């Protein structure tokens, strides 16, 4: 019977109803059916709070930057103000002794003009001295004491003086030369221009400044100033064609100039080398802006 048991087993198996196999794609949903996707969003106040925080930080950074710039500007302005104050103090300190020396020289020149020409008023003498000093400050190759000596010898500080050669004014300038000089200074020329103390003084200082750039010898400067370039050539050559006036004029001016230097040096005023400070400066010319 044992040999029939497998048959029994198979019968039992065969007696069980057969189950139908499930389809493999039963779990797959139909692709044609619509699908709904849900996205969860965070709350809006968190994003807004983050944005506000960023803006606040940016504002703090910009404000700090502006504060630093303002502090830097204040420091720069303070530094500039300190520089201005120090410069002003230096100018005042340096100007006090200069103004003192200048005033002593100015008063000494005024007194000498009064001695040379007692008919000149105190006010006019001071004015002539101030013009001479101002002109030589503009043209530093010219010593104010030399200009003073020329004025004393040439006209004795008479504004209306006229020589036999028609030289005019305080420093006896010829009209032909004066026309060029005044135009170089930017002034119009007319027949009365050289009788103007200011124009005559400035023209004389400019002329001497030009001559000092031409000659290294003050004797030649004075020879040409008195008698023109040809006369300076005669003076250099030592020939008899030299004008008699120039022959006495040059030593007379130099002698007076030396005496003035001694007097003013003894009084503590500045002494200036006659050879000329700035004698070789370029750009000296009679050509100027003619008007």
- Which tens digits make up the pLDDT trace of 162-187? 999 899 999 999 999 999 999 999 99
Taking alpha carbons only, the member of 130, 91, 90 closest to residue 108 is 130
pLDDT at 34 over 70: no
Domains in the chain: boundaries: 101-266
pLDDT at 238: 81
Rounded CA-CA distance 110/118 in Å is: 11
Answer whether 148's CB lies under 8 Å from 112's CB: yes
Tell me which of 20-29, 79-88, 100-109, 112-121 is least confident. 20-29
Joined together, the tokens standing for residue 181 give 């000089």
* CA-based nearest residue to 211, from 270, 150, 284: 284
**Picking from 29-43, 46-60, 137-151, 210-224, which range would have the lowest pLDDT averaged per residue?**
29-43
CATH topology of domain 101-266: Lysozyme (1.10.530)
143 contacts: CB under 8 Å, gap ≥ 6 = 136, 257, 272, 273, 274, 276
Q: What is the pTM of this model?
A: 0.61
């Amino acid at each position: 019977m044992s040999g029939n048991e497998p048959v029994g087993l198979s019968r039992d198996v065969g007696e069980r109803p057969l189950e139908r196999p499930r389809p493999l794609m039963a779990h797959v949903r139909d692709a044609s059916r619509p699908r709904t996707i849900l996205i969860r969003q965070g709350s809006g106040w968190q994003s807004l709070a983050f944005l506000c925080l960023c803006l606040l930080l940016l504002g703090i950074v910009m404000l700090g930057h502006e504060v630093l710039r303002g502090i830097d500007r204040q420091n720069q302005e303070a530094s500039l103000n300190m520089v201005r104050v120090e410069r002003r103090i230096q100018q005042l300190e340096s100007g006090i002794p200069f103004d003192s020396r200048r005033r002593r020289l100015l008063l000494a020149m005024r007194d000498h003009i009064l001695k040379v020409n007692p008919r000149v008023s105190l006010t006019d003498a001071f004015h002539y001295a101030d013009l001479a000093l101002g002109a030589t400050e503009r043209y530093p190759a010219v010593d104010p004491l030399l200009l003073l000596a020329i004025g004393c010898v040439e006209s004795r500080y008479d504004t209306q003086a006229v020589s036999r050669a028609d030289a005019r004014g305080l420093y006896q300038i010829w009209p032909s030369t004066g026309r060029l000089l005044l135009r170089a200074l930017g002034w119009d020329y007319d027949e009365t221009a050289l009788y103007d103390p200011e124009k005559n003084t400035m023209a004389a200082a400019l002329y001497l400044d030009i001559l000092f750039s031409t000659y290294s010898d003050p004797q030649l400067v004075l020879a040409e100033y008195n008698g023109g370039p040809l006369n300076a050539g005669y003076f250099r050559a030592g020939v008899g064609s030299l004008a008699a006036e120039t022959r006495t004029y040059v030593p007379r001016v130099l002698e007076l100039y030396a005496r003035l230097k001694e007097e003013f040096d003894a009084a503590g005023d500045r002494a200036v080398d006659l050879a000329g400070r700035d004698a070789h400066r370029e750009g000296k010319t009679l050509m100027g802006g003619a008007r």
